[in-house]
Amino acid sequence: MSCRDGSSRYVNRSSFNTDVWVLGDSIPYWAGERARARNHENLGTGAKIGWYGIRGQLIADLIHGVQLKVLFQPAPRLVFLHLGGNDLMSSSNYSMFRAIKRSIKYLAATFPEANLGVDQYPTTQSVVTDD
């Protein structure tokens, strides 16, 4: 997977058959790296956590990345999404909101039995006042 600067910064060190998928940009990437460095990859939860953060990831790249994982892994029980920070300078709040909404709908349709958690998105007020 390449980032907006053309480099490839995705390293998948998570094992297959994970119960929880943590998707997003550099925040989940570095959280996973830190958890692995401390030998707490699963955060003491008893669930297997797959850390799928991609440094520099844009909202538009999310669906493609998930499609690749779906081909090779069983569905997770929980999907946690953290995205939007890398889109702040290149997208309006309204287009970010629409892209995140589209991504959430895709995740809900792809994993109907999974619980979804979303961390970062533009506020309703900023979407309404944006062009």
Q: Of all residues in the chain, what percent carry a pLDDT higher than 90?
A: 28
Task: Answer with the residue of higher pLDDT: 34 or 10.
Answer: 34
User: What domains can be seen in the chain, in order of their start residue?
Assistant: 20-24+34-129 (3.40.50.1110)
Q: pLDDT averaged over the chain?
A: 78
The string over 89-116, giving b where at least 16 C-beta atoms fall within 10 Å of a residue's C-beta and e elsewhere, is eebebebbbebbeebbeebeeebeebee
Rounded CA-CA distance 38/30 in Å is: 12
User: pLDDT digits over 44-88, tens only?
Assistant: 888 999 999 888 887 888 888 888 888 888 899 999 988 777 777
